[in-house]
Copies of this chain bind each other. A is one copy, B any other.
Amino acid sequence: MSDTNVYIPGPQRPTQADARTLLADYCAAIDDLRLSDWVAMFTDPCLYRITTRANLARGMPLSIMLCDTKAMLFDRVEAIEQANLFEPHVTRHVLSDSRVIDAKGLVLSVQTSFIVVRTMVASGEMMLFAAGKYLDEVVSEGGRTLFRSKTVVLDSSLVDTLIALPL
């Protein structure tokens, strides 16, 4: 007997609900300091980029940060975890609804407003750290929903992303 009749579904475009679950998992991974889980939510190659709305409005390709492979994302995690460059802090992401911007082929593009509150571990001091929007391209790979590309657009150009956890 042959197995030629076994139906193996091809990859499908993620739904908006899939994207929301991924976004919630993404934020929880960062806020719970599970940074390897954070890396695992991207395809390889990928695009993870932080920019400002001023840069984006000017059509400038300038990024505050850009990673386009998982290896680069891992490097970033190691820098955060080992080099201990910054005063220990934790983050709290709160997201508004996602808007579907595009749905072509296997890619769903969504846009989501966010704010991030940062709390210093030693002092307990809280601050509004960042506000902006995510521009995400989401795909399905091996049954998992992943970011093919994530652009973090910050409202302010004052956010110091070098010394911070991922946004």
| Residues of A that sit less than 8 Å from B by CB | 20-21, 23-25, 27-28, 31, 53-54, 90, 92-99, 111, 113-115, 117, 119, 121, 123-128, 130-133, 155-158
Tallying the copies of this chain within the complex gives 3
26 contacts between A and B (CB under 8 A): A20-B97, A21-B99, A23-B97, A24-B97, A27-B113, A28-B111, A28-B113, A53-B90, A90-B155, A92-B115, A92-B133, A93-B96, A94-B95, A94-B113, A94-B115, A115-B117, A117-B131, A119-B155, A123-B158, A124-B156, A125-B158, A126-B128, A126-B156, A126-B158, A127-B128, A128-B128
Chain B residues whose C-beta falls within 8 Å of the C-beta of A126 in the assembled complex:
128, 130-131, 155-156, 158
